[in-house]
Amino acid sequence: MKQKKAGRSNPNRWQDHYTRKAKKENYPARSVYKLQEIQKKSRLIRKGDRVLDLGCAPGAWLLYAAEETGPSGRVVGVDLKPVTVALPPQASAMTMDAHDLSMPGTFDVVLSDMAPDTTGSKHVDAIRSIMLCEAALEVALRSLRPGGNFACKVFQGADFKAFSDRVRAAFAGHRIFKPESSRKGSREVYIIATGKKETEIETDSETDSKTGSSSAENGQH
């Protein structure tokens, strides 16, 4: 059966376009184009970088970040859900909650595309999104090298400005970015922060560090 083309008046026209494009280019999600736009705008990832990707399933950002780092880099993904796509040798994924993450070592870039399951209440969704962002920022402050970069998806709501100000204080550069490939009606934006400052910033759970020992690494290459 012939598929009906999305017309200009269709609000999901972009979604349809990017979903089709992702399928054609073998990415498991259209979200890859948001990271491509972020990368084009701010050049967060460089060849040979070590990248931590929070909320990585189904794996589109992992694949794209691994292209950007090249084989000399390293990309580690974390998600509640397993990643089932085949990954290149420089990328891997762990199935775990980002709140439980205690990542040893230092990264050049921390990305978070984490999103809560939506409830239908914009207010509740925004609060849940900020909680994930706080977790992502905490991980970034712990595991980024000085000068490292951070990008984080946020659903705009009541606590957005306070969170954005916290990021601004910890990094030399800061911008709020709405990718073209993001659905127009969605309240999501990305905070892009570059150049983590050297200053030690105390995080909420400084005294409550947990281990990620129950994690299962997806060794698919």
Ligand X SMILES: C[S@@+](CC[C@H](N)C(=O)[O-])C[C@H]1O[C@@H](n2cnc3c(N)ncnc32)[C@H](O)[C@@H]1O
The arrangement of strands across the sheet holding 144-155 comes to 171-177, 188-196, 144-155, 107-112, 50-54, 74-79, 91-95, 216-218
Task: Please report which residue ranges of 70-159 form alpha helices under DSSP H.
Answer: 122-143
Site mask, ligand X, residues 54-83, x = CB under 6 A? -xxxxxxx----------------xxxx--
Residue 24 CB partners (closer than 8 Å, separation 6+): none
DSSP state of 83: P
Find the binder of ligand X among 103, 115, 127, 201 (CB under 6 A). 115
Contacts with ligand X by CB under 6 A: the residue count is 22
Q: Is 153 a catalytic residue?
A: yes
Residues 121-150 binding ligand X (CB under 6 A) are 132
* Distance of closest approach, residue 133 Cβ to ligand X, in angstroms: 11
Active site residue: 122, 153, 161, 184, which one? 153
Site for ligand X in 156-185 (CB under 6 A): none
Give the C-alpha distances (Å, rounded to integers) separating 216 from 64, 65, 96, 148: 22, 21, 7, 27
- Residue 86 interacts with ligand X (CB under 6 A): yes or no: no
Give the catalytic positions in this structure. Answer: 153
Q: Which residues bind ligand X (CB under 6 A)?
A: 28-29, 31-32, 55-61, 78-81, 97-99, 113-115, 132
